[in-house]
A and B are shown apart, each in its own frame.
Chain A
């Protein structure tokens, strides 16, 4: 059974159809690339999976169970966590505190325990997990810096660290390489592989074709809200329809 199964997903915004009857599935342990020209519906797809939008029709199955229409925090509770397109961090908190927020699911407490300090063991476990993910993402030395003071590459790494702190099964990365220089991109690719090797299934939306081709064995292509094709990087690169979609297809050149 695939980990994630998108079944005939449709999303309307008023008269606009952002996604039309899209189906695909992602196996456990994969790094899947989700590509397509601007406006193809990639981010809309992510928002539907992560619960920020409710699909107009169709279903989203995680491990065979429907998560359609659940609230974002519930879906996070089931192990599906997204990162954001713009680098989204708690700028005014330290790197460590950022990771600590990510530990919410293991650290959440009730008001009485919080006041009386009865949740010590939980909070220690959370701090340990936060330290672990920072170590994993190579941010240990920066743990007391403010998030806003980090260079771009480290900010992105921290965004992933926050997501990892919640121990996801499926990580949805929205344009993790946007605006990065080649060196930063290379480091982020290594980190993404490392995350994947640790047992997290990854789906990434990305425009940097080199990165996508380098990371993914399977790529799903969307165009105008519909599924255009799926295949290996080799197949996608040589698929005339994909090339046409990117070069402003529809019109014959």
Chain B
């Protein structure tokens, strides 16, 4: 247990140091790539908090959009500082989630999944149809970048460090939530809801809480994305994007904190690596997916354990 924890801490530290040193040695479009990848890590980790209650939603990426639109509108139309609009993006996504939880959590399981999809699409269509203030299907352009002293956040490297700092902080908070009393209660609600209720757990409240927290953090991720891209459109938050999130989480594995992170990183890098074979890229991706699900049903997260077991058996012999 202690040694296991030590390897986790060491591994995380090594990864962080690598991420701090790495960007200076990358080509321009790879710098772009790791910015979006880091943001996507926050998207999948916040999604996992939601799945801890046993409910899988299709609205997560739309909540990212809520954050993105909030931050874009606040900073562009109202002149709010980007440093303030990013946290406010999280707050507004959380508030929208709190409102939506009233209709949504009357459903569970499959019905919840479909309900969340329907509500998400309704929100996305609202962005398309209400040209004022959302800009219709062409969205909002020329969204300001953050400003701090003379640092140019239009450049990828400074922006990457900003994203890295925010995402690391968010992951720390999410990790603490999962390992706190609240994490244990979410687990209880997932696996034996009646038993949890019989000792006083308000299951509805905890499902709502997980949804709100997940939405807050994905809202922040959305804000980070738009202030780098400079534009936001409804198409960025379609169900196609949501499917990628689901694939990352499933292929990575959702029983550990790092599973979805592994999934997002490994699949994104593979996808990037096959950029040269543009025509057959989706096919390669599909084959990889099928292979992953066939040979690693418990996800990429099971790979380190598998190696550890092998190693242990070797040394035991």
Residues of A within 8 A of B (CB): 50, 52, 71-73, 76-77, 81-84, 88-93, 97, 100-102, 104-105, 107-109, 111, 114-115, 117, 119, 122-123, 126, 162-163, 165-166
Decide yes or no whether B76 CB sits under 8 A from chain A.
no
| Segment among B18-26, B138-146, B173-181, B285-293 that sits at the interface with chain A | B173-181
B184, B197, B213: which contacts A73 (Cβ < 8 A)?
B197
3 nearest A-B pairs in the assembled complex, by CB-CB distance = A76-B200, A114-B180, A72-B197
Given A81-B198, A163-B199: A109 touches B181 (CB 8 Å cut-off) = yes
A6 to B173, CA, bound (A): 47
Query: What residues of A have a CB within 8 angstroms of the CB of B192 in the complex?
Result: 88-90
Whose C-beta in chain A lies nearest to the C-beta of B189?
A: A101
Smallest beta-carbon distance A106→chain B, Å: 9
Query: What residues of A have a CB within 8 angstroms of the CB of B199 in the complex?
Result: 76, 81, 101-102, 104-105, 162-163, 165-166
Q: Besides the contacts A73-B197, A104-B200, A108-B181, what 5 more A-B pairs have beta carbons closer than 8 Å?
A: A88-B194, A90-B188, A104-B188, A109-B180, A123-B181
Residues of B within 8 A of A (CB): 173, 176-177, 180-182, 184-185, 187-188, 191-192, 194-203, 209, 213
Query: What residues of A have a CB within 8 angstroms of the CB of B176 in the complex?
Result: 114-115, 117
A71, A84, A109, A111: which contacts B195 (Cβ < 8 A)?
A84
Query: What residues of B have a CB within 8 angstroms of the CB of A50 in the complex?
Result: 198
Smallest beta-carbon distance A73→chain B, Å: 5
- List 27 contacting pairs A-B, 8 Å CB cutoff, sorted by A: A50-B198, A52-B194, A73-B197, A73-B201, A73-B202, A76-B200, A81-B198, A83-B198, A84-B198, A89-B192, A90-B187, A90-B188, A101-B184, A101-B185, A101-B195, A104-B185, A104-B188, A104-B199, A104-B201, A109-B180, A109-B182, A111-B177, A111-B182, A114-B177, A114-B182, A115-B176, A123-B181
A101, A114, A115: which contacts B196 (Cβ < 8 A)?
A101
Cβ contact within 8 Å between A111 and B198:
no
Query: What residues of B have a CB within 8 angstroms of the CB of A52 in the complex?
Result: 194
B182, B184, B200: which contacts A100 (Cβ < 8 A)?
B184
Cβ contact within 8 Å between B195 and A76:
no
A101 to B194, CA, bound (A): 12
Smallest beta-carbon distance B317→chain A, Å: 27
Smallest beta-carbon distance A70→chain B, Å: 12
